[in-house]
């Protein structure tokens, strides 16, 4: 395999809504370059990019795939991504290592669902970007309307480079505004004829060409001067201006193609070769140490692992970008995160599942390496004389949580191990054992993502599993003060037990005054692991209970607080004053006082108007204006309190507080109410009392389950 030098490597990522044609375009780009001699199709389950069995089953991309093509002495690395927002983790990692984002717009629909979500990742890094209008051959293609939607969403930086001729079923032409040529395709597509622009298009083409010249001049003072002098710019000068504009995230060029009919991708690749920035043209990489690391061939050797795949029968494949220097077979590198030494036994250029061995890769290039022992996604590998960590990829927060159970209990132990492997491959799948809920909780981006996890567990790891709704971590507390006492006395056989306590139990709140009417001897403030406090006062007068028994009483209370009297949930925010009692010279001991403390507390708690509290989340729901009503109605059925609504461009931002118990499958239902046009964020806000009818039901269910 040929080694390309750093000036001749371009890294692009294909982004866009599902079914816009990313995978088809990737296939076409390989075919155009002669790297494959037959084009596969997504439905034919034979594309280079969608090679996983689950992708064949679902006929869509689920994983990001690294491929490459070669166009006029340049190597273009292509990362094809899934469009569904359940798999946005793959977008996050791919955008991170790409140098140009190629955003596909389905010309049938214009800007679609989930676009903002993807765009946020581009914007975050100000990545050079271009738009490609695909499916111009489709009978429903509407270039003008799609263009309008792109302009209104992405603003003045969108820059028309081409427009289509004979859009729709007879699509066969592109007017190129940079070259001022008419590209005419035969019905089979492929290499077009380059013709003069037809007379009938001249006015329009001239006008748009002039706009393009201005756009190219805008980004650089010298070009601006040149433009004022000459009244125009030549092609090279325009390319220079566009390149600067792209690098500064101020020009988003627009191209026209039909990926399916193999029309226009060659011209687009030519532009990527000549104008799109390569890794060495873009800003230095930031390290976690806060330093800049230049993308330089003579710099120290630094690799950044952006993706990990665990292939059955093959082992772990790590995908990396050469951030600086060059990597060769046989190199020994140090993992910045854990100090382990990794040897590069083989290096690959990747085309889907096809591995092309290569001896070295230079700065900017993307590649794969097999069987690294201690290296995961987001790790940095460093050569001698340097030890830096590249700023990690920030993966999105999980949106959906489910408890996982093995159908066969002998598989219980394997669950964690397999989930760990799945997490290595996809960091947006997380899992955690909740000792509170006594459930293993798996978190994903949505229902489809969860279905993929289930598929992998069953098909790859042969584990039969089910997902069930996680329990809600309720809390219990009280609402009034109760004064109570309990005598624990046991005299059957042997040594007896005796302990008697008097206590006041009341709700605790931050900043409340010290209790009155008691004699405070000692105060303990306990920050409970599960939130809230227990404040415990020893108010014993005249030594009626030995000080050494007070910790036992407190322990008894704590034990009850760990398993609340109403539903077995944790108790929080109570204050207890132990102010009287009795002990027995022989029969009193720690256990007796622990039991007395526990029972007195339980008795008081039940009389103190106890309340079940539920976790409430703060929701930010971003929704297109016309769907506001539907989303609000749905939120209201979920017992939400609407805190406010703000306008955000064409969107409305609803801020609400919603009980966690009501957020079951919210991702899915919001998607179906809005056809995926809304997004949301949630975070824990507070614990709040549940309504009386729900309290009754919870207590009833708990008592039922106890019997
Ligand atoms: N008419 C037409 N269909 C296309 C074009 N590109 C892709 N498609 C079809 O759109 C569907 C989705 O394509 P795919 O490449 O899987 O889209 P992706 O989800 O963006 O990767 C497939 O059935 C393709 O055949 C195109 O240029 N024109
Ligand atoms: Mg795809």
- CATH of residue 502's domain is 3.30.230.10
Give the CATH number, domain containing residue 342: 2.40.30.10
Mark whether 483 and 624 lie in a shared domain.
Answer: no
Tokens of 348: 């690959």
CA 135 to ligand 1 centroid distance, Å: 7
What whole-number distance in Å separates Cα of residue 35 and Cα of residue 101?
Answer: 22
CA 52 to ligand 2 centroid distance, Å: 12
What whole-number distance in Å separates Cα of residue 506 and Cα of residue 605?
Answer: 9
- 613-632 mean pLDDT: 94
The answer to whether residue 18 sits within a structural domain is: yes
Q: Terminus-to-terminus CA distance in the chain, angstroms? A: 70
CA 22 to ligand 1 centroid distance, Å: 7
Mark whether 150 and 60 lie in a shared domain.
Answer: yes
Burial class (CB in 10 A: 0-12, 13-18, 19+), 569: buried
Helices (H), 499-617: 550-562, 590-607
CA 154 to ligand 2 centroid distance, Å: 23
| Buried/exposed 420-453: b ≥16 CB within 10 Å, e otherwise | ebbbbbbbbbbbeeeeeeebbbbbbbbbbbbebb
Q: Is the pLDDT of residue 353 over 80?
A: yes
- Could you identify the residue written with the tokens 């100000």? 126
Q: What is the pLDDT of residues 185-241, one digit of tens each?
A: 999 999 999 999 999 999 999 999 999 999 999 999 999 999 999 999 999 999 999
The answer to whether residue 55 sits within a structural domain is: yes
Mark whether 299 and 445 lie in a shared domain.
Answer: no
Torsion angle (degrees, nearest 10) of CA 616, 620, 622, 626: 50
CA 25 to ligand 1 centroid distance, Å: 8
Query: Which residues pair with residue 332 across a beta bridge?
Result: 343
The answer to whether residue 389 sits within a structural domain is: no
Nearest to 465 by CA among 417, 407, 420, 401: 407
Mark whether 663 and 699 lie in a shared domain.
Answer: yes
Mark whether 528 and 646 lie in a shared domain.
Answer: no
Q: Say yes or no: CB of residue 682 within 6 Å of ligand 1.
A: no
Phi-psi sector, 603: left (phi>0), alpha (psi -120 to 50), beta: alpha
Mark whether 487 and 453 lie in a shared domain.
Answer: no
Q: Is the pLDDT of residue 171 over 70?
A: yes
Nearest to 641 by CA among 632, 653, 652, 629: 632
| Buried/exposed 305-321: b ≥16 CB within 10 Å, e otherwise | bbbbbeeeeeebbbbbb
- Could you identify the residue written with the tokens 């969860």? 450
Last-in-domain residue among 468, 484, 512 = 468
Q: State which H helix or E strand residue 92 sits in.
A: helix 88-97
DSSP state of 287: B
- 654-669 mean pLDDT: 93
Mark whether 362 and 434 lie in a shared domain.
Answer: no
CA 706 to ligand 1 centroid distance, Å: 56
Give the CATH number, domain containing residue 419: 3.30.70.870
Q: Is the pLDDT of residue 707 over 70?
A: no
Determine the structural domain holding residue 158 and report its residue range: 8-201+249-281
Helix (H, G, I), strand (E, B) or coil at 442: strand
Q: Is the pLDDT of residue 514 over 90?
A: yes
Mark whether 351 and 405 lie in a shared domain.
Answer: no
Q: How many domains does the chain have?
A: 5
User: Beta strands 129-134 and 100-106: pairing type?
Assistant: parallel
Q: Say yes or no: CB of residue 23 within 6 Å of ligand 1.
A: yes
Residue 113: the pLDDT is: 67
Query: 655 near 617, Cβ under 8 Å?
Result: no
The answer to whether residue 187 sits within a structural domain is: yes
Residue 678: the pLDDT is: 85
Helices (H) and strands (E) in the chain, counts: 16, 38
Output the average pLDDT for the chain. 94
- Within 10 Å of residue 509's Cβ, how many Cβ atoms? 9
Cβ partners under 8 Å of residue 314, min gap 6:
370
What whole-number distance in Å separates Cα of residue 251 and Cα of residue 216?
Answer: 8
Mark whether 548 and 531 lie in a shared domain.
Answer: yes
Q: Return the minimum-mean-pLDDT range out of 169-173, 322-326, 404-408, 677-681.
A: 677-681
Nearest to 690 by CA among 661, 648, 670: 661
Instruction: Give percent of the chain above pLDDT 70.
Output: 99
For 63-75, the DSSP string reads S-EEEEEEETTEE
Mark whether 603 and 638 lie in a shared domain.
Answer: no
Q: Say yes or no: CB of residue 399 within 6 Å of ligand 1.
A: no
Q: Say yes or no: CB of residue 260 within 6 Å of ligand 1.
A: yes
Mark whether 581 and 654 lie in a shared domain.
Answer: no
The answer to whether residue 182 sits within a structural domain is: yes
The answer to whether residue 234 sits within a structural domain is: no
The answer to whether residue 685 sits within a structural domain is: yes
Q: Say yes or no: CB of residue 258 within 6 Å of ligand 1.
A: yes
Tokens of 457: 């567990």
Residue 283: the pLDDT is: 87
Which of 18, 19, 55 to mutate for ligand 1's pocket (most ligand atoms within 8 Å of CB)? 19
Query: 525 near 535, Cβ under 8 Å?
Result: yes
Which of 29, 42, 106 to mutate for ligand 1's pocket (most ligand atoms within 8 Å of CB)? 42
- 267-283 mean pLDDT: 94
Q: What is the pLDDT of residues 570-614, one digit of tens each?
A: 999 999 999 999 999 889 999 999 999 999 999 999 999 999 999
Q: Is the pLDDT of residue 706 over 70?
A: no
C-alpha dist (Å) from residue 656 to 119, 472, 570, 634: 25, 19, 26, 12
C-alpha dist (Å) from residue 380 to 171, 289, 365, 420, 470: 47, 13, 15, 20, 36
What whole-number distance in Å separates Cα of residue 348 and Cα of residue 508?
Answer: 63
Query: 4 near 280, Cβ under 8 Å?
Result: no
Q: Return the minimum-mean-pLDDT range out of 94-98, 116-120, 145-149.
A: 116-120
Q: Is the pLDDT of residue 251 over 80?
A: yes
What whole-number distance in Å separates Cα of residue 637 and Cα of residue 181?
Answer: 58
- 81-104 mean pLDDT: 94
DSSP state of 280: G
- 521-527 mean pLDDT: 96
- 92-109 mean pLDDT: 96
Give the CATH number, domain containing residue 625: 3.30.70.240
Mark whether 459 and 482 lie in a shared domain.
Answer: no
Nearest protein CA to atom 12 of ligand 1, as residue: 19
Ligand of minimum distance to the alpha carbon of 134: 1
Q: What is the pLDDT of residues 404-454, one digit of tens each?
A: 999 998 999 899 999 999 999 999 999 999 988 899 999 999 999 999 999
Residue 650: the pLDDT is: 75
Query: 541 near 501, Cβ under 8 Å?
Result: no
Give the CATH number, domain containing residue 149: 3.40.50.300
Taking the CA of residue 257 as reference, the ligand 1 atom at the shortest distance is 27
Residue 218: the pLDDT is: 94
Bigger pLDDT: 482 vs 682: 482
The answer to whether residue 652 sits within a structural domain is: yes
Last-in-domain residue among 328, 352, 382 = 382
CA 695 to ligand 2 centroid distance, Å: 48
């Amino acid at each position: 395999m040929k080694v390309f030098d750093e000036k001749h490597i371009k890294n692009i990522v294909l982004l866009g809504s599902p079914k816009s044609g990313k995978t088809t375009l990737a296939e076409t780009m390989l075919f155009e370059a002669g790297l494959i001699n037959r084009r596969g199709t997504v439905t034919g389950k034979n594309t280079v990019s969608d090679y996983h069995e689950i992708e064949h089953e679902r006929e869509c991309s689920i994983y990001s795939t690294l491929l490459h093509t070669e166009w006029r002495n340049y190597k273009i690395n292509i990362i094809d991504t899934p469009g569904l927002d359940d798999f946005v983790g793959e977008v996050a990692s791919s955008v991170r290592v790409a140098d140009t984002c190629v955003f596909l717009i389905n010309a049938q629909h214009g800007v679609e669902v989930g676009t903002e979500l993807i765009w946020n990742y581009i914007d975050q890094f100000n990545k050079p970007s271009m738009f490609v209008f695909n499916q111009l051959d489709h009978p429903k293609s509407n270039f003008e309307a799609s263009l309008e939607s792109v302009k209104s969403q992405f603003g003045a930086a969108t820059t028309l480079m081409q427009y289509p001729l004979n859009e729709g079923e007879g699509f066969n032409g592109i007017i190129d505004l940079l070259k001022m040529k008419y590209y005419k395709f035969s019905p089979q597509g492929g290499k077009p004829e380059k013709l003069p622009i037809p007379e009938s298009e001249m006015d329009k083409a001239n006008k748009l060409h002039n706009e393009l010249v201005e756009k190219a001049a805008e980004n650089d003072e010298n070009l601006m001067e040149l433009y004022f002098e000459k009244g125009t710019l030549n092609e090279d000068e325009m390319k220079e201006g566009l390149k600067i504009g792209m690098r500064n995230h101020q020009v988003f060029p627009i191209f026209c193609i039909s990926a399916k009919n193999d029309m226009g991708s060659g011209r687009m690749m030519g532009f990527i070769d000549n104008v799109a920035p390569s890794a060495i043209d873009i800003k230095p990489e930031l390290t976690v140490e806060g330093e800049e690391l230049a993308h330089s061939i003579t710099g120290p050797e630094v690799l950044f692992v952006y993706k990990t795949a665990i292939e059955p029968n093959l082992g772990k494949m790590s995908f990396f970008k050469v951030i600086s220097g060059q990597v060769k077979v046989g190199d020994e590198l140090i993992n910045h995160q854990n100090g382990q030494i990794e040897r590069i036994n083989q290096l690959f250029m990747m085309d889907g599942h096809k591995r092309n061995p290569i001896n070295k890769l230079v700065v900017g290039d993307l590649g794969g390496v097999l069987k690294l022992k201690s290296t995961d996604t987001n790790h940095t590998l460093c050569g001698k004389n340097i030890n830096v960590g590249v700023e990690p990829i920030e993966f999105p927060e999980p949106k959906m949580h489910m408890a996982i159970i093995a159908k066969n209990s002998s598989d219980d132990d394997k669950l964690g191990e397999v989930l760990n492997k799945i997490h290595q491959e996809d960091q947006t799948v997380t899992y955690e054992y909740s000792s509170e809920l006594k459930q293993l909780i798996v978190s994903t981006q949505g229902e489809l993502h969860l279905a993929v996890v289930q598929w992998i567990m069953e098909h790859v790891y042969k584990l039969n599993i089910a997902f069930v709704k996680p329990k809600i971590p309720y809390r219990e507390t009280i609402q009034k003060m109760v004064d109570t006492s309990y005598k624990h006395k046991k005299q059957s056989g042997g040594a007896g037990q005796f302990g008697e306590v008097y206590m006041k139990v009341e709700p605790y709140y931050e900043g409340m005054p010290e209790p009155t009417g008691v004699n405070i001897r000692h105060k303990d403030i306990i920050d409970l692991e599960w939130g809230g406090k227990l404040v415990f006062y020893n108010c014993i007068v005249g030594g009626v209970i030995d000080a050494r028994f007070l910790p036992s009483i407190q322990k008894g209370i704590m034990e009850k607080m760990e398993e609340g009297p109403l539903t077995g949930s944790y108790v929080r925010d109570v204050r207890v004053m132990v102010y009287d009692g009795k002990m027995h010279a022989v029969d009193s001991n720690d256990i007796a006082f622990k039991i007395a403390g526990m029972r007195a507390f339980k008795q008081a708690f039940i009389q103190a108007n106890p309340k079940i509290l539920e976790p409430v989340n703060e929701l930010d729901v971003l929704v297109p204006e016309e769907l506001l009503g539907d989303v609000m109605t749905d939120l209201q059925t979920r017992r939400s309190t609407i805190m406010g609504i703000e306008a955000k461009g064409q969107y409305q931002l609803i801020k609400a507080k919603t009980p966690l118990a009501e957020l079951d499958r919210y991702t899915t239902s919001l998607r179906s109410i809005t056809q995926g046009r809304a997004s949301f964020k949630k975070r824990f806000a507070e614990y709040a009392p549940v309504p009386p009818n729900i309290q009754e039901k919870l207590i009833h269910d708990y008592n039922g389950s106890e019997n």
